[in-house]
Amino acid sequence: MADQQHDHSEDSQKQAKLLSQALPFMQRYEDCTIVVKYGGNAMGDAELGQAFARDVALLKQSGVNPIVVHGGGPQIGRMLSEMGIESKFEGGLRVTDERTVEIVEMVLAGSINKDIVAMINAEGEWAIGLCGKDGNMVFAEKAHKTFVDPDSNIERILDLGFVGDIVEVDRTLLDLLAKSEMIPVIAPVAPGRDGHTYNINADTFAGAIAGALNATRLLFLTDVPGVLDADGNLIKQLTVDEAKALIADGTVSGGMIPKVETCIHAIEAGVEGVVILNGKTAHAVLLELYTKHGAGTLIVR
């Protein structure tokens, strides 16, 4: 019994110390908008998912305006495969025909969106699941992507079907929610003025939302610790110019290229800082925001 009491007081001392260290950071982000992009690769583990939901709830409780934008690429791929449809990507984007966009919307705005809402609600908060269609929040148009054939050096136009580029973000609904108890959880699906539904890369979608809201931070939860240098070491901070140089010299490659490019666009659109961090680390969001050393790579102007 005496031992237990001792443990308790040690625990509470530790907690008090942690809290006092976190306090200045909590004050720093009070009333700030923080957009968190929760990628499909960071999902899947129930315990990690609950830790993520607890972090988002704690942000709201400490006066932040958190907005979750989620992906779900691997989950869409699994559903398509169960239905006998093969996933095809061009330049990192899913080629999306009419049947595929229906399934994308079902998986993203349906099951994944509601799972995240339920996890946050289980932490005692009020999450509300949305997509670009809700409250006329986001409008898209058919994406116009080109591709330079490395063999012939000829530029080709890519027809990705119902993949969209964002052309408009209306912040009315998100401004209303910021003043309420609600935490928006947004799926990257948006309507076009042409009446079609468009599938939008979740990183791009999160960048556009963060830019339109002049967010203080945009966090990308992925499956690596952040941007790594040529020796595989984590780079703690980068300027936009340094980030561009890492793309140009090939240090940043593959899926990290569009991610870092989205970071650069978001900063140019008015986001104060963007962080790429490992969503597979429990409580990555709190470690990034509420500790001195952060958790990932911070990119700033």
Ligand X SMILES: CC(=O)N[C@@H](CCC(=O)OP(=O)(O)O)C(=O)O
Please list the residues that pair with 163 across neighbouring strands.
Answer: 199
Q: Tokens representing 61? A: 């409780």
Residues 28-67, mask of contacts with ligand X (x by CB under 6 A) = -----------xxx--------------------------
Q: Nearest approach, Cβ of 57 to ligand ADP (angstroms)?
A: 23
Give the residue among 197, 178, 181 at the shortest CA–CA distance from 189.
197
Distances 63 to 108, 113, 181, 243 between C-alpha atoms, Å: 28, 23, 10, 31
Judge whether 193 is annotated as a binding position: no
Q: Tokens representing 140? A: 């898209």
Judge whether 279 is annotated as a binding position: no
Q: Which is nearer to ligand ADP, 134 or 165 (CB)?
A: 165
Burial (CB count within 10 angstroms: exposed 0-12, middle 13-18, buried 19+), residue 193: exposed
Q: Which is nearer to ligand ADP, 217 or 259 (CB)?
A: 259
Q: Which residues bind ligand ADP (CB under 6 A)?
A: 39, 41, 203, 222-224, 227-228, 251-256, 259
Binds 72: which of ligand X, ligand ADP, none (CB < 5-8 Å by kind): ligand X
In the DSSP assignment, the letter for residue 235 is P
Binds 163: which of ligand X, ligand ADP, none (CB < 5-8 Å by kind): ligand X
Q: Among 36, 93, 116, 224, which residue interacts with ligand X (rule: CB under 6 A)?
A: 93
Which ranges of 122-255 would DSSP assign to H, the alpha helix? 172-178, 202-212, 240-248
Q: Nearest approach, Cβ of 36 to ligand X (angstroms)?
A: 12
191 touches ligand X (CB under 6 A) = no
276 touches ligand X (CB under 6 A) = no
| Structural contact between residues 215 and 223, judged by C-beta atoms closer than 8 angstroms | no
Distances 66 to 22, 153, 170 between C-alpha atoms, Å: 17, 44, 17
Q: Nearest approach, Cβ of 41 to ligand X (angstroms)?
A: 6
Q: How far is CA 78 from the centre of its chain?
A: 20
163 touches ligand X (CB under 6 A) = yes
132 touches ligand X (CB under 6 A) = no
Binds 253: which of ligand ADP, ligand X, none (CB < 5-8 Å by kind): ligand ADP
Q: Among 33, 65, 197, 201, which residue interacts with ligand X (rule: CB under 6 A)?
A: 201
Judge whether 217 is annotated as a binding position: no
259 touches ligand X (CB under 6 A) = no
Q: 63 CB contacts (<8 Å, ≥6 apart)?
A: 26, 29, 30, 31
Q: Which is nearer to ligand X, 73 or 225 (CB)?
A: 73
Binds 286: which of ligand ADP, ligand X, none (CB < 5-8 Å by kind): none
Q: Tokens representing 125? A: 């908060």
Judge whether 136 is annotated as a binding position: no
Binds 104: which of ligand ADP, ligand X, none (CB < 5-8 Å by kind): ligand X
Between helix 256-268 and helix 240-248 the angle, nearest 10°, is: 150
Q: How many degrees, rounded to 5, is the angle at CA 172 between CA 170 and CA 177?
A: 125
Binding site for substrate: which residues?
Answer: 72-73, 94, 199
Interaction site with ligand X (CB under 6 A): 39-41, 71-73, 76, 93-94, 104, 163, 188, 199-202
